[in-house]
Amino acid sequence: MMNAEVSRNVIPFEHSYSAAFLSMLSSYYNEDFRFYLNEERITGIFQDLLYDTERSGLRIHLLTEAGIPAGFCILLPYTAKESNEDLSGWFLLRDLFIRPERRRNLLGTFLFHSVAEQYRAEGARGICLTASPSALPFWNRLGFESAPDRFETGSRYLLSYQLTPDTSL
């Protein structure tokens, strides 16, 4: 017997998903980064993110499977004031997270490409991020390219993903 395919969607953050999002934030910071933040700190981060959605255009996207949140990504309009380049239409991918028990199912790929298509349709020019050396293969498979001549990032790499063919970072 074949398994029915699970419905996957990428949606903007909704307050009805606050508890699930808080749970994912806790996992993201405490398990992935081993920061071991208490509930109060995680709640503070959550409130800061919500504030930034209003103040600076930060956008939170949730990946749901059968209506249950399985991951998120957070993007911020790029505002590098020190650059002489026109970076309007570029976004910084701040975070991408998939629940540990749902990893290795191409959900990160699905989430990123869904968001990238939405941003392309809205006229965005590209997405950039900084990545650790261990994450480079994942981001390269998604189509990100190195942009080493742009910024000093220490032990992290600046990568860019073009949404329109005439744009580079």
Tally of residues, the chain: 169
- What is the DSSP pairing of strand 59-65 with strand 8-12? antiparallel
Band of pLDDT at residue 12, cut at 50, 70 and 90? very high
What are the residue boundaries of the structural domains of the chain, listed by start?
A: 8-162
Contact (Cβ atoms closer than 8 angstroms) between residue 156 and residue 131: yes
pLDDT at res. 83: 59
Residues 24-57 have pLDDT tens digits of 999 998 886 667 788 899 999 999 999 999 899 9
C-alpha dist (Å) from residue 53 to 13, 57, 143: 10, 5, 27
Identify the architecture of domain 8-162 in CATH: 3-Layer(aba) Sandwich (3.40)
The model carries a pTM of 0.85
Tally Cβ neighbours within 10 Å of residue 101: 9
